[in-house]
Amino acid sequence: MPIFEILVIIILILINGLFAMSELAVVSARRPRLKTMAARGVKGAKRAMALAADPGRLLSAAQTGITLVSILAGAYSGASLGDQLSVWLQGLGMSKAWAEPLGLGVVVAVITYFSLIIGELVPKQLALRNAERIACMVAPFMTILARVAAPIVWFVDASGRFVLFLLQRKASGESKVTEEEIRTLVAEAETAGVLGRDERQMISGVMQLGDRPVRAVMTPRHDVDVIDLTDSVVEIRRTITQSVHSRLPVSDGDPEVIIGIIQAKDMLNAYLKGRKPDPKKFVRQAPIIPDTMDALDVVTKLKDSPVHVGLVHDEFGHFEGIVTSADILEAIVGAFHTEEGPPEPNATERDDGSWLLAGAMPVDELLELLSIPLPEKRVYHTVAGLMLERFGRLPRAGEHVEYAGWRFEIVDLDGRRIDKVLASRPPVMRRKVRA
């Protein structure tokens, strides 16, 4: 019985699996995790990082080893086991014309099967399940192999780069992590129980905040209570007491020109001390923020301001609204419960699968909710803005428009503002989904 030959084939298949596992583990290992492991002193982590930083060298060494082992396994199995099986079949009475190809075919089929399972699939599955740990284990071996076979590795790597050059493909540097990959990773972490639902929503909120201009998170002008210093003290006091806000913008006769902020507690302190305060003396300066500034950049502005309020203006200097630290926080974690009651949800799913949407709902939340395509560069930031863009005018209640497989119907208007929109699947789309 050809025990020695079978043992040699098994060893070659295992070596092939080692190469395949090493290659995929180092390539799949996440650089931040390797860096953390290297900082903890895990053996092989630094070498794994060095190999991952030079993928051409790693792939050349691994593929050279895999190719050589595969050639040796194929040649040895055909020359030894194939011939021996052919002789055995002839001893059973089979003609030489049938025994030789059948013996070679059976040996090749068996070797191919075990090479595929033991030499490829299983090692690669192990590498994907624990890439960083395996990368650290195999990194010293792969480093030594790359050094020993340096001339061959260099020649193979240079040949690959030359072919890429002919194909006009530049060698890529460090792989860049995309925003979509981060979102996918966070979703997987929630599914695996590593992150809670609230944690995932906060992370998504921070990422969305980085994509929004300040206009998407500010309190618009028509929702802002403005104090006019030309009003009487009684009217100013009434404005402050009736407002739910503690910091109010101040104008001096011209509503287009906001000169600062008055904090209600400053006026209250003066009244509690028995004084008759002059509102003009309590006006505080607030930073002017362009409406095109990124919402994340506004955070720095508000941190440097003692009143934590920014006055948002457009390019023509018109006052558009205010942005506060509370607006930024709500953009991340959602609206807070107020004295008027719990916040109204931006989207409510109905029994028929349709969605009742608030016009003020951020359009990037709509993108995540309904998975509809939206242009990266757009001038609108809410569902109401999307409807105005699709209609090309201010629609009337009851009108509808179809977009990206959804039917959007205007349910309610608040003056000239779209307040509620109903998103549903058109009848044809619903029939396709059920089918």
DSSP 195-254: S-HHHHHHHHHHHHHHH-BGGGTSEEGGG---EETTS-HHHHHHHHHH-S-SEEEEESS-
Considering only residues 227 and 211, tell me which one the structure prediction assigns the higher pLDDT: 227
Could you tell me the pLDDT band of residue 104, with boundaries at 50, 70 and 90? Answer: low
Are both 365 and 319 inside the same structural domain? no
With respect to residue 201, please indicate whether it lies within any of the assigned structural domains: no
The pLDDT assigned to 340 comes to 60
Tokens at residue 267, please? 């006026």
Counting other chains too, the contacts that 78-81 makes at CB distance below 8 Å and 24 or more residues apart are 78/104, 78/107, 78/108, 80/2, 80/5, 81/2, 81/5, 81/6, 81/9, 81/107, 81/111
Tokens at residue 400, please? 């509808």
Could you tell me the pLDDT band of residue 337, with boundaries at 50, 70 and 90? Answer: low
With respect to residue 178, please indicate whether it lies within any of the assigned structural domains: no
Q: Is the pLDDT of residue 385 over 80?
A: yes
Could you tell me the pLDDT band of residue 433, with boundaries at 50, 70 and 90? Answer: very low
Q: Find which of 168-172, 175-179, 283-287 is predicted with most confidence, using mean pLDDT.
A: 283-287
The pLDDT assigned to 177 comes to 65
Q: Is the pLDDT of residue 395 over 90?
A: yes
Domain final residue pick, 310, 333, 356:
333
Are both 411 and 312 inside the same structural domain? no
Range with the poorest average pLDDT among 27-41, 85-99, 337-351, 363-377: 85-99
Q: Is the pLDDT of residue 120 over 90?
A: no
What phi and psi values does residue 319 have, to the nearest 5 degrees?
A: -70, 125
Considering only residues 129 and 88, tell me which one the structure prediction assigns the higher pLDDT: 129
What average pLDDT does range 217-221 have in this prediction? 88
Give the contacts of 8 (CB within 8 A, at least 6 positions apart).
Answer: 76
- Tokens 């025994």 appear where? 99
Are both 10 and 145 inside the same structural domain? yes
The DSSP letter of residue 333 is H
Q: Is the pLDDT of residue 234 over 90?
A: no
CA distance 85 to 90: 9
**pLDDT tens readout for residues 19-38:** 888 888 888 888 878 888 88
CA distance 85 to 100: 8
With respect to residue 97, please indicate whether it lies within any of the assigned structural domains: yes
Are both 326 and 374 inside the same structural domain? no
The pLDDT assigned to 284 comes to 92
CB 74 within 8 Å of CB 60: no
Q: Is the pLDDT of residue 434 over 70?
A: no
Considering only residues 3 and 325, tell me which one the structure prediction assigns the higher pLDDT: 325
With respect to residue 400, please indicate whether it lies within any of the assigned structural domains: yes
Domain span holding position 45? 3-166
Could you tell me the pLDDT band of residue 423, with boundaries at 50, 70 and 90? Answer: very high
Residues comprising the chain, all counted: 435
CATH number of the domain that 366 lies in? 3.30.465.10
Considering only residues 258 and 166, tell me which one the structure prediction assigns the higher pLDDT: 258
The pLDDT assigned to 83 comes to 64
Range with the poorest average pLDDT among 78-82, 95-99, 169-173, 190-194: 169-173
Amino acid letter, 187: A
Range with the poorest average pLDDT among 108-112, 266-270, 324-328: 108-112
Domain final residue pick, 166, 195, 222:
166
Tell me the pLDDT of the chain averaged across its residues.
81
Tokens at residue 215, please? 């206009």
The pLDDT assigned to 401 comes to 94
The pLDDT assigned to 19 comes to 83
Neighbour-count burial for 324-342, b at 16+ CB within 10 Å, e otherwise: beebbeebbeeeeeeeeee
Range with the poorest average pLDDT among 91-100, 123-132, 214-223, 301-310: 91-100
Percent of the chain with pLDDT over 70: 87
Could you tell me the pLDDT band of residue 82, with boundaries at 50, 70 and 90? Answer: low
With respect to residue 367, please indicate whether it lies within any of the assigned structural domains: yes
The pLDDT assigned to 432 comes to 47
Are both 243 and 364 inside the same structural domain? no
Considering only residues 383 and 62, tell me which one the structure prediction assigns the higher pLDDT: 383
- Tokens 């992370």 appear where? 203
Q: Is the pLDDT of residue 176 over 80?
A: no
Neighbour-count burial for 280-301, b at 16+ CB within 10 Å, e otherwise: eebbeebbebbbebebeebeeb
The pLDDT assigned to 276 comes to 80
Are both 353 and 314 inside the same structural domain? no
CB 94 within 8 Å of CB 85: no
CA distance 355 to 203: 24
The pLDDT assigned to 71 comes to 72
With respect to residue 172, please indicate whether it lies within any of the assigned structural domains: no
Residue 237: count of CB within 10 angstroms of its CB? 16
CB 149 within 8 Å of CB 64: yes
Are both 83 and 162 inside the same structural domain? yes
Q: Is the pLDDT of residue 379 over 90?
A: no
Range with the poorest average pLDDT among 75-89, 135-149, 265-279: 75-89
CB 420 within 8 Å of CB 395: no
**pLDDT tens readout for residues 122-136:** 888 888 888 888 888
Are both 277 and 418 inside the same structural domain? no
Are both 156 and 64 inside the same structural domain? yes
Domain final residue pick, 138, 166, 194:
166
CB 86 within 8 Å of CB 104: yes
CATH number of the domain that 252 lies in? 3.10.580.10
What average pLDDT does range 3-31 have in this prediction? 81
Could you tell me the pLDDT band of residue 283, with boundaries at 50, 70 and 90? Answer: very high
CB 248 within 8 Å of CB 262: yes
With respect to residue 275, please indicate whether it lies within any of the assigned structural domains: yes
Are both 225 and 283 inside the same structural domain? yes
Are both 32 and 99 inside the same structural domain? yes
With respect to residue 119, please indicate whether it lies within any of the assigned structural domains: yes
Could you tell me the pLDDT band of residue 431, with boundaries at 50, 70 and 90? Answer: very low
Are both 320 and 353 inside the same structural domain? no
Considering only residues 362 and 250, tell me which one the structure prediction assigns the higher pLDDT: 250
User: Structurally, how many domains does the chain consist of?
Assistant: 3
CB 404 within 8 Å of CB 372: yes
This prediction's pTM = 0.58
